[in-house]
Amino acid sequence: MNEIYFNVDAGYLEGVVRGYRDGLITAPQYLNLTQCETMDDLRLQLATTDYGAFLQNEPSPISTSTLVARCTDALVAEFQYLQQNAAEPISRFLDYITYGYMIDNVILLITGTLHERDTHDLLDKCHPLGLFDSMPALCVASTVQELYSTVMVDSPLAGYFRECLSAEDLNELNIEIIRNTLYKAYLEDFYAYCQGLGEPTASVMGEILRFEADRRTVNITINSFGTELSKDDRTRLYPRLGNMYPEAQTRLARADDMDQVKAILEQYSEYKSMIVGVSLHAPADGDGRGAQSLEDRFFGKEVQLNKDAFEQQFHYGVFYSWLRLKEQEIRNVVWIAECISQQQKDKVGSYTAIY
C-alpha cells in the first residue's frame, strides 16, 4: 500500500463508512417504496431503513418537504460523526468535501442580499454541511460589498474568492458565473490535494473528480446556449482538468447546439454509451415515464464510479463516494414521494438505482 497518509484512525473510519454504505436502500426496498399508495405507506416502509429513527416523531401525513429535511438530517448526522472522530489528515479531506456546500450557501446569501431579503431567514435554508463559524456574520452584511469583505476576511472560501472574484463581480447578472467560477477553483484545488495524497486515493478520487469536471463542462456549455455568455467566458468557466481537457473543451467552447455537444461526447468511450438513445431535451415518451435526459445518464455514471470506489481498500475516496451515493438515495426517495403525493404512479420507477 502506497497511501502515505493512511493510519489506524483512517482505517477505523473507513470501516464506519463502509457500514454506512451497507445501510443504503436495496433494490427490494425500492420496489416496496414504489408500490406505496400514500405518504403514510411510504413512511411505514422507510421505518425499516436508516431513515426510520428520523421520521418516527413526525406527525401524519408527512409532507415531501419534511421528508427531505429528515433524510438530510440522517445524512448530516452520519457525516458529522466522521468529522468528530477524524484527525489530520483525514479531517482535512472531509473539510474539502464540505466546500462545495459552502459555495452553494454563500451564493444563496449573495442572492438574498441582492434582493434585499432577510438573510437570517435564508440561513435556515442553507445546507447544514456547508455551514461555517463565520456564516452568521454574513447575515449582518447589508450590501454585497460588505458581504464580500466578510467572506474575504474569515471564510474557508476566502482563497477562492481572492483568486477569482472582486466585489464588483457580485451582481445578479453574474450569479451563476460566480457559482461556476468558485466551483472551478474549488474543483481544481481539491483535485490537486487528492493527487498529493498518494495511491490509491489519488487514482480513485482522480477518476471521480475528472468525471465531475467533464460533467460541469458539458452543463456549462448546454446552459449557455441562448444566453449572453460569450464563448470566451464559457472557456474561462471550464475546470482545467477532466478527460475532455483541453481538446474537447476547446471544441465545446465553440459548440452552438446540442447536436454538436453530442457529436463531441461520442468521441469519448466513457461517454459514448451514455448518449445512445438519450433524450437531449427529455420529452415524454409513450409510456408516460419520460425519456432519460443527459443529466439522468450523468447521475447513473456518477453512481457507478462511486460504487466502484468501494472495490478498493485503504483510501479516502470511500468517504466522498458514500456521501454522493447517499445524496442520490435521497433524490430517489424524494422522487418516489413526489410521484405518490401527486398521484403520478406511472413515473414512480424513474429513479437512478444504486444497489
- Tens digit of each residue's pLDDT, the chain (355 residues): 444 445 557 889 999 999 999 999 999 999 999 999 999 999 999 999 999 999 999 998 899 999 999 999 999 999 999 999 998 889 999 999 999 999 999 999 888 888 878 877 888 899 999 999 888 878 777 777 888 888 877 789 999 988 888 878 777 668 889 999 999 999 999 999 999 999 999 999 999 999 999 999 999 999 999 988 899 999 999 999 999 999 999 999 999 999 999 999 999 988 988 887 766 554 334 333 445 788 889 999 999 999 999 999 999 999 999 999 999 999 999 999 999 999 999 999 999 989 8
Answer for the pair 132, 151: CB distance below 8 angstroms, yes or no. no
**8-85+323-355, which class in CATH?**
mainly alpha
Note the pLDDT of residue 289: 42
pLDDT at 322: 98
Q: What is the pLDDT of residue 290?
A: 46
Is 340 in contact with 293 (CB distance < 8 Å)?
Answer: no
Residue with cell 480513485: 204
Tens digit of each residue's pLDDT (9 = 90 or more) over 303-342: 999 999 999 999 999 999 999 999 999 999 999 999 999 9
Please choose, from the candidates 123, 142, 116, the residue with its C-alpha nearest in 3D space to the C-alpha of residue 150: 142
H helix or E strand, kind and range, residue 312: none
SS3 13: helix
pLDDT value, residue 291: 54
What is the per-residue pLDDT for 175?
A: 87
Query: Which candidate, 347, 309, 302, places its Cα nearest to that of 329?
Result: 302
Residue 129 near residue 76, CB atoms below 8 Å: yes
Q: How high is the pLDDT of residue 285? A: 40
Helix then strand then coil, in percent of the chain rounded to 5, is 65, 0, 35
Alpha-carbon span 244 to 61, nearest angstrom: 47
Extents of the domains making up the chain: 8-85+323-355, 90-196, 199-277+287-315
pTM, rounded to two decimals: 0.92
Of 195, 172, 20, 15, nearest in space to 93 by CA: 195
Position 282 scores a pLDDT of: 42
Q: What is the pLDDT of residue 152?
A: 75
Grid coordinates of 288: 408516460
> Is-contact 138 106, C-beta < 8 A?
yes
Is CATH 3.40.50 correct for 199-277+287-315? Answer: no
